Amino acid sequence: MLGGICLTALFLLSCPAYFAGNAVAHDSKEETQSSQNYDKRGSQSQTSLELGEIVFVIQSQSNSFHKKRAQALKENILKQAAEISKKLPRMLLIHEIVRNEGAWTILPVIPHFADTYGKNSSWIFFCEEEATVRLRKLLETLERFDKSKNWFLGKALHDEESTIIHHYAFAENPSVFKYPDFAAGWALSMPLLKRLANILINDPPSSDFTIDLKHEIALFIWQKVDGQKLTSVPEFCTDNPISSMTSDCATAFNNSLPLCANPVRKKDIFVAIKTCKRFHKDRIPVVKLTWEKQAAHFQYYSDFADDTIPTIDLGIPNVERGHCGKTFAILERFLNDSTSQTPWLVIVDDDTLISISRLQKLLSCYDPKEPVFLGERYGYGLGSGGYNYITGGGGMVFSRETVRRLLTSKCRCYSNDAPDDMVLGMCSSGLGISVTHSPLFHQARPTDYPKDYLAHQVPISFHKHWNSDPVKVYYTWLAQDEKEPHNGKKHWKEDL
């Protein structure tokens, strides 16, 4: 099923015609005026709204840490609801709704929502587990919109330049297309949800890949529902919860780095860097100038032994893409190393920039005795029994238990150049190991993401060096909390 498929090939495909910038005849002046005047328009058609008419969907995950966070948010919303109304809203955790690896992508479960809640509900409100919801303010905000009409509400993001992660959509003017920042929460009115349900039953999404869900959902709605656009709602916020309490925000977002206990010790993290002879002189010096000194245990794995770095020759010929053989060889070495029982393994590319100190904090929330497979989640073929996987460029984090289960199984690469991240996702799915998503890992460069999106993050990784100064990127985005300054150099090339 995977033959010949890899992310590099996917990203190099020609874009469909509708991605052209002139495919959307947006009148920017009209759009701005519409956004500014939505309060006035809404008040003219204002209707009462009861809490029982809202279905809350928490975009939860099955990992034990994430389940606890989602359950805490659910209980908080219900506690607020009990103070407002006798009829409580319905509360759903997305990972519990349907035992389906694709439930997190929302579109596959919309027909279920319409069938189950369509008669007695007016809104579906989605929020992430780190969100804070001010229920009275949210109710007041939703009341401004006529619940009998099609509404797609959220905090609007837009691309400042066309980007690979969106297949270079709207290349001539990417800012014309708006999509929701999930961190602020987003909502669908029931009429729109029912319309989507009918469409999805007869005309499901055609793409095999799920890469950036928030953009892809907005694009699907725009394509299939008569150019239905996102309405930006200023009360949907990504401010810190404390500051939002004195503002007009109905939602807020915990934008601090998760820390559940003492940070994981550096010596408990082994970092494997995949490289090849071709990039020894170009990419490895960048690693050494940036994050290498933050790692206690690391090794460069290559197709050529170079004692000056040093690198280890895994005995696997280099391939242009995929690198599955190399990755599985790294997993074998990690598990079979009799001198170490390091609980965490991180596999990165030689052009991945990563903050080890931030990773130490994040991993304090996970139990390495559990099968943890962590990073930025993508999906393949989820509409037809596919699987999720951790995209390799942003870094793949494995607990030792995950590595043990993977290698104990019969799942292996079908070729050295198979896409390693996808094969690992397929293997994990077959073993019942859920991949765990963190938006703090990034497959692309900072310039490939909206500034407003990165503004409420403490990022852990970025990927790719092209058209950027990678050392500057590292010290701008990832090194603010490191104790060691950058050698006092004016520019990284002075050290090469």
pLDDT tens-digit map of 13-41: 333 333 334 344 434 444 444 444 454 44
Low-confidence winner among 39-48, 388-397, 484-493 (lowest mean pLDDT): 484-493
Q: Which CATH architecture has domain 16-253?
A: Alpha-Beta Complex (3.90)
The C-alpha atoms of residue 1 and residue 348 are separated, in whole angstroms, by 25
Average pLDDT for 164-189: 95
Confidence of residue 8 (pLDDT cuts 50, 70, 90): very low
pLDDT at 322 over 70: no
Pick the CATH number of 266-495 from 3.40.470.10, 3.30.1330.40, 3.90.550.50, 3.60.15.10: 3.90.550.50
Higher pLDDT, 8 or 95: 95
pTM score of the predicted model: 0.89
Phi, psi of 157 (to 5 degrees): -115, 155
Average pLDDT for 404-409: 97
Query: Residues of the chain with pLDDT > 70: what percent?
Result: 86
Q: Give the rounded distance of the alpha carbon of 153 from its chain centre.
A: 20
pLDDT at 128 over 90: yes
Confidence of residue 288 (pLDDT cuts 50, 70, 90): very high
Query: Residues of the chain with pLDDT > 90: what percent?
Result: 77
For residue range 433-457, what is the model confidence (pLDDT) as tens digits? 999 999 999 999 999 999 999 999 9
pLDDT at 262 over 70: yes
Confidence of residue 46 (pLDDT cuts 50, 70, 90): low
Q: What is the token pair recorded at 427?
A: 């293997």
- Judged on CB neighbours under 10 Å (0-12, 13-18, 19+), 69 is buried
Confidence of residue 243 (pLDDT cuts 50, 70, 90): confident
pLDDT at 374 over 90: yes
Confidence of residue 101 (pLDDT cuts 50, 70, 90): confident
Confidence of residue 119 (pLDDT cuts 50, 70, 90): very high
pLDDT at 328 over 90: yes
Name the segment(s) of the chain with CATH classification 3.90.550.50. 266-495
The pLDDT value recorded for residue 339 is 76
Confidence of residue 11 (pLDDT cuts 50, 70, 90): very low
